[in-house]
Amino acid sequence: MIAEFTRDAAATAAVFGLLAASWFGWAQENPPPVWRNWLIAGAILSLVVALVGGFFTWQHWSAGTAFNPQTGRTFGLIVGIEFAIAGIGAGLLSWWGRSDLIAPWVALVVGVHFVPLAPLLHYRLLYAVAALVCVVALAAVSLASMQNLAVSAVTGVTTGMILLVAALFSLITVIGL
């Protein structure tokens, strides 16, 4: 589960921290009022983790990394495809009057894109993140319906928590705790 390169683990903490904050923000679209402070706290903690991860990425910038010119191109291609599929799906859902399903759709696409990134970046943690985010995306509509919650709240809080825990795990491996 540990990243092969310290710099890559630090960068993962930075990116996942930023993304977790975004998902906690998305969850604030229409959450139960009692969730509001917890979502804000999650977003703030995620941003702190992102900043610390960014600092350690900078500190270890000259260390080894899974990235090389070929890896960088492949990474860009995977992320580009992810953005295109997420955007097209979100547009179609909106056009069909189902904008309530955009959050789980985007989460599903995000989860799936971690599968090819895991071997590319030599970071098996991404497989676990992929599986968990996909399960959340697929279960969010039912969970939200059963609890009479907004789908975006359920998707955002659970995806945010998964990414925050993964960011913290990555950061802990960098620090060596």
Q: Mind listing the pLDDT tens digit for each residue in 82-97?
A: 999 999 999 999 999 9
Give the model confidence (pLDDT) of 44-60 as tens digits.
Answer: 999 999 999 999 999 99
Structural domain containing residue 52: 6-175
- So what's the pLDDT on residue 119? 95
**Residue 67 pLDDT grade (very low, low, confident, very high; cuts 50, 70, 90):** confident
Distance CA 63, CA 58 (A): 10
DSSP state of 67: -
C-beta separation of 43 from 164 below 8 A: no
Is residue 101 left, alpha or beta, with left meaning phi > 0 and alpha meaning psi from -120 to 50? alpha
Least confident segment among 3-7, 35-39, 108-112: 3-7
Task: Establish if 54 belongs to a structural domain.
Answer: yes
- Give this prediction's pTM: 0.94
- So what's the pLDDT on residue 4? 83
Task: Establish if 20 belongs to a structural domain.
Answer: yes
Number of domains in the chain: 1
**Residue 177 pLDDT grade (very low, low, confident, very high; cuts 50, 70, 90):** low
Task: Establish if 42 belongs to a structural domain.
Answer: yes
Query: Given a cut of 60, is residue 72 above it in pLDDT?
Result: yes
Task: Establish if 60 belongs to a structural domain.
Answer: yes
- So what's the pLDDT on residue 3? 79
Give the model confidence (pLDDT) of 82-139 as tens digits.
Answer: 999 999 999 999 999 999 999 999 999 999 999 999 999 999 999 999 999 999 999 9
CA distances from 132 to 79, 107, 149 (A): 19, 10, 20
Distance CA 23, CA 3 (A): 24
C-beta separation of 57 from 11 below 8 A: yes
Task: Establish if 1 belongs to a structural domain.
Answer: no
* Token couple for 90: 């979100």
CA distances from 161 to 41, 106, 112 (A): 11, 16, 17
Task: Establish if 92 belongs to a structural domain.
Answer: yes
Task: Establish if 76 belongs to a structural domain.
Answer: yes
Task: Establish if 161 belongs to a structural domain.
Answer: yes
Tally of CB atoms within 10 A around 49:
23
Distance CA 13, CA 57 (A): 9
